[in-house]
Amino acid sequence: MKIAIAQLNFLVGDIAGNAAKIESAVRQAESAGAELLLTSELALTGYPPRDILLNSAVIARQERAVKELAGACRKTALLLGWARKAKAGGKPLHNSASLIYRGKILATHDKILLPFYDVFDEQRYFEPGSAVTLVKFKNLRFALTICEDIWNDKTFWARRNYRQNPLEALRKIMPDACLNISASPYWVDKPGLRRRMIAAIARGYRMPVVYANLVGGNDELVFDGAGMAFDAQGRLLAGGPMFKEGLLYVDIPVKKGAPSLFSYLISNHYSEPAPLGNGVRSSFVTCYNKLWPPFSSYQQVTNEDLTPLPSSVAQIYDALVLGLRDYVVKCGFSRVTLGLSGGIDSALVAAIAADALGPGHVLGVSMPSRYSSSHSKKDAQILAKNLGIHYWTVLIEPVFKAYLKIFKKIFAGLSANITEENIQSRIRGAILMAISNKLGHMVLATGNKSELAMGYCTLYGDLLGGLSPISDLPKTLVYQVARYRNSISDVIPERVFTKAPSAELKPNQTDQDSLPPYDLLDRILDSYVVKGEDRARLVKKFPKKTALKVLKGVDSSEFKRRQAPPGLKISHKAFGFGRRMPIACKIEHS
């Protein structure tokens, strides 16, 4: 039996578009001779659908789509992720995987473990299932599971939040394979963890595991795809690439009277998106505002390449490129604009945008003030030239002067302070928004996680835009990822890496006038924000004064983050939806 594992990129809420894409995948799997196709979790709605799930029309539309797809599955069965209505008296829906074939639903599994931590809200919508569903299809007994269902098994690693391990019952049952459909968002090095965990489960339960995952960016979340299959010895049989759309095939020999543990042929291939059919692609293009740039930076994956995953920085870079592209295009935009300061943050964002959308779709704007150094202007210009993006220079001095005149009058007698610094940042923001309004570009914010953590940024100034692509990268990681990008082609001038970071909002300013050295700051932030360590641990690990300054900086700038643009999550804990802090509060740390 040949199984196809989908890595498809869905638009959240677009049931008809997503169903059409799935149907084209079914067609392709059919013509490739696959007998079963696995979609990702909640494929029809896209993930995360959030409160769209509370719209009854969306749920009804989904039911129609399931029926239509069932009719369309003549030769290839489909394991489809969707949100189905639950019985009255509990939460309204189940997060389900239905095996559909020749007009019928053969079996349905309802997700048992519903994640609720970090960015997840599944207990807001779904009633849990009670046990893994087993289904016999073409003489093979498959166990159906959804994402989190397999993440609480002690074989390798277990979450500490659930009392139940849905896999436990499979020890006795010994299915011929365990199928898992997921929408497992990316964070750095998670794909390696996922592989090792699933391999351990396959080996531990002596059953093959076939795993399908969503690909694409949906708001803050980027999904890496990377479908895979393991044999009962935990050996990798098939591994799809990260951040790439397409179908992954794995061949399985089925004998008459098949043994309960069957072996796979070590043979698979990965197909490019093109064969998904012109229908899909063209409806996609229409829906996404006539722009869906080719994934030209990726190469065909061969078996030999499967085992090693890309390096962490390469993973992150690819995640940011996909996340930026999907956000921009799925919001109906095709062009972006950003301020180029001559610093490393805007340089990296410009490079990501150029790689994601094509340099012709990116406009970099240099907006020097009286405090801007000559090297800043020069470096911005060289970067734009190297990337081949559009480049404008707009002097903010006349507007700045007009504001200063007002301030002189209304703030008579008061000395200059952060006010005069912020206004420069806000003038730049207003100019970028004017470009957005006039030309239909999306503005990209260029701030990093270290700044956002400490509130070292200007609300309605540099913290402005439709998307903040690198807001989950601490400053030290910004440098590393920028280095990685330069290793592909040398686009960011060397001086941008070596000069002292500065906001250049007053004479001779550097970031370290206000912030601890970035290498120390980022380690403290990793401890407090990402690992969630408490004050006692912080003051033990780091210089006390600095640790407490960082703690206070993070706590007191929540109001800025609440109004920040969405950022792309690439760490275990990003600011935004997965970190829900009150604003008007006083956190007592000891």
Tell which positions 539-568 bind a copy of itself, by CB under 8 A: 559, 562-566
Q: At which residue do the structure tokens 């009670």 appear?
A: 130
DSSP 481-514: HHHHHHHHS--S-HHHHHSPP---SSTT--GGGT
Q: What is the rounded distance in angstroms from the CA atom of residue 546 to the CA atom of residue 539?
A: 9
Q: Is the Cβ of residue 272 or residue 555 nearer to a copy of itself in the bound state?
A: 555
Footprint (CB under 8 A) of a copy of itself, residues 565-584: 565-566, 579-584
41 catalytically annotated: yes
Among 312, 381, 460, 548, binds a copy of itself (CB under 8 A): 460
In this chain, which of 244, 335, 361, 426 binds a copy of itself, going by CB under 8 A? 426
The partner residues of 4 in beta bridges, in order of sequence, read 37, 249
Question: Would residue 73 show up in a list of annotated catalytic residues for this protein?
Answer: no
Residue 451 annotated to the active site: no
Q: Which is nearer to a copy of itself, 51 or 490 (CB)?
A: 51
Q: Binding a copy of itself by CB under 8 A: which of 50, 281, 378, 572?
A: 50
Contact flag: residue 14 with a copy of itself (CB under 8 A): yes
- Minimal distance in Å, beta carbon 117 to a copy of itself? 7
- Contact flag: residue 55 with a copy of itself (CB under 8 A): yes
CA distances from 307 to 13, 226, 235, 304 (A): 35, 11, 10, 7
Interactions with a copy of itself, residue window 258-277 (CB under 8 A): none
Which are the contacts of 570, defined by CB distance < 8 A and separation ≥ 6?
Answer: 186, 187, 188, 222, 316, 319, 320, 472, 473
Are 315 and 242 in contact, with CB atoms under 8 Å apart?
Answer: yes
**Which positions from 87 through 146 interact with a copy of itself, judged by CB under 8 A?**
88-92, 116-117, 121, 123-124
- 488 in contact with a copy of itself (CB under 8 A): no
Out of 169, 266, 285, 418, the only residue in the binding site for a copy of itself (CB under 8 A) is 418
| Host H or E run for residue 476 | helix 475-488
Sort 433 into a burial class: Cβ within 10 Å, 0-12 / 13-18 / 19+.
middle
Tokens of 350: 């410009």
User: What is the C-alpha to C-alpha distance for residues 76 and 84, in angstroms, rounded to an integer?
Assistant: 22
Instruction: Give 227 or 567: the residue with its C-beta nearer to a copy of itself.
Output: 567
Asked whether 187 and 570 are in contact (CB, 8 A), the reply is: yes
Query: Largest alpha-carbon pair distance within the chain?
Result: 93
Rounded to whole angstroms, how far apart are CA atoms 432 and 353?
16
User: Smallest distance from the beta carbon of 228 to a copy of itself, in angstroms?
Assistant: 27
Q: Of 504-543, which residues contact a copy of itself (CB under 8 A)? A: 532, 534-536
Q: Measuring CA to CA, how many Å separate 414 from each of 371, 397, 481, 573?
A: 21, 21, 43, 41
User: Given 73, 147, 178, 457, which residue is catalytic?
Assistant: 147
Q: Tell whether residue 412 is a contact of a copy of itself (CB under 8 A).
A: no
35, 41, 122, 148: which is the annotated catalytic residue?
Answer: 41
For a copy of itself, the binding residues in 364-403 under the rule CB under 8 A are: 392, 394, 398-399, 401-403
Distance of CA 66 to the CA centre of its chain: 27
Q: Which of 82, 101, 162, 292 binds a copy of itself (CB under 8 A)?
A: 162
Smallest distance, Å, CB 305 to a copy of itself? 31
Q: How far is the CB of 535 from a copy of itself (least distance, A)?
A: 5
Distance CA 334, CA 6 (A): 26
Residues 428-457 that bind a copy of itself (CB under 8 A): 429-431, 433-435, 437-439
Interface with a copy of itself by CB under 8 A: which range of 131-139, 166-174, 337-345, 425-433? 425-433
DSSP string, 196-240: HHHHHHHHHHT--EEEEE-EEEETTEEEEB--EEE-TT--EEEEP
C-beta closer to a copy of itself: residue 28 or 372: 372
Is 466 near a copy of itself (CB under 8 A)?
A: yes
Q: Please give the C-alpha separations between residue 560 and each of 90, 216, 461, 532, in angstroms, as whole numbers.
A: 37, 28, 11, 20
Catalytic residue among 2, 21, 111, 560: 111
Member of 23, 41, 153, 219 binding a copy of itself (CB under 8 A): 219
By annotation, the residues acting in catalysis are: 41, 111, 147
